[in-house]
Amino acid sequence: MQHTHICPKCGGSLSLNGNSYLCENRHTYDIARSGYVNFLLSDQMNSKLPGDNKLMVNARKSFLSKGYYSKLMENFCDTVKKHAPHNAVILDAGCGEGYYTVNMAKAVADSFIMGTDISKTAVDAAAKRSRAEGVKNLLFSVSSVFRLPVKNGSCDMLTTLFAPYCGEEFLRVLKDGGIMVMVIPSERHLIQLKQAVYDNPYLNEVKDFQLEGFRLKEHISVNDEICLDSTEDILNLFSMTPYYYKTGEDGHKKLSQLNELKTEIGFEILVYTKK
């Protein structure tokens, strides 16, 4: 655990005691069978099962396992490798089911990676993925990105892909001069998917890259076209997006009648230094 995690109740340091993590005030956090730790307190939950549900996690696992976003994954891992110092402590805030986290851990095998997400279902899947692939230099936990169970200034790098942004927390856990790698969708990402669903599809809003407390160091655009060759893959991609819950029955029906779809994908990889 590299002495970077802290007790979410009292802020004390945690140490491994058998199959649990324990702080000096005897607050205890058990390691689940799949290998993750739950640091999410009940008062930090906005629902009984916060974050991505089983349907969304399984859809993303299935879709990403087919390599549709491999170009992004490779560019992301190369970027992390380029900017991470040796023996780095890296936090992946909002790690989801662990596709990018596990691949990143392989790319920087001398580093210690912490993956965290508010969805217990996603984190359980991530822990199982890392075990299945024999990746040992990481630990997954359940927590909110707005209350990270991590010490002040303990991380050399923080990564965040399509996850909620909490500048205050991210700045708190990063060392001075630490690196943040952020991935966001670009303007035309999935435009043809939206055209298949909506009468008047709109481009994604890409906000200004300047962030308080950070200096933009590098910007990489990753663009590609993917061909989805089954209804299952089309629906899996759709259920990974925010549009899934905002779309009426008609939109879902239109997609369920398609068995092939070509669409642009586009991402911005943004590398920042903490000022």
Q: Are strands 112-117 and 138-142 parallel, antiparallel or unpaired?
A: parallel
pLDDT at 2 over 90: no
Count how many domains the chain has: 1
- Confidence at residue 155, expressed as pLDDT on a 0 to 100 scale: 98
* pLDDT tens readout for residues 98-151: 999 999 999 999 999 999 999 999 999 999 999 999 999 999 999 999 999 999
Query: 79 or 48: whose pLDDT is higher?
Result: 79
pLDDT of residue 45 exceeding 80: no
Global pTM reads: 0.94
Q: Across residues 223-250, what is the average pLDDT?
A: 91
Give domain status of residue 2, yes or no: no
In CATH, what number is assigned to the domain containing residue 153?
3.40.50.150
Residue 256's φ and ψ, nearest 5 degrees, are -70, -10
Residue 236 is predicted with a pLDDT of 95
pLDDT of residue 212: 97
Is 201 inside a domain boundary? yes
Per the structure, the complete domain to which residue 264 belongs is given by 46-274
182 within a domain of the structure (yes/no): yes
Checking if the pLDDT of 1 tops 60, the result is no
Give the pLDDT confidence score for residue 42 in this predicted structure: 80
Contact (CB, 8 A) for 36 and 142: yes
Residue 15: inside a domain, yes or no? no
* Tokens encoding 196: 């298949």
Residue 19 lies in a domain: no
Is residue 25 in some structural domain? no
Beta strand ranges found along the chain (DSSP E): 14-17, 20-23, 28-30, 37-38, 89-93, 112-117, 138-142, 155-161, 174-185, 214-228, 261-274
Mean pLDDT, the chain, rounded, equals 94
Q: Phi and psi for 24 in degrees, rounded to 5?
A: -65, -20
User: What are 19-40's pLDDT values in tens digits?
Assistant: 999 999 999 999 999 999 999 9
Tell me if 61 sits within 8 A of 233, measured CB to CB.
no
Asked, for residue 4, whether it belongs to a domain, the answer is no
Predicted confidence (pLDDT) per residue in 238-255, tens digit: 999 888 878 888 888 999
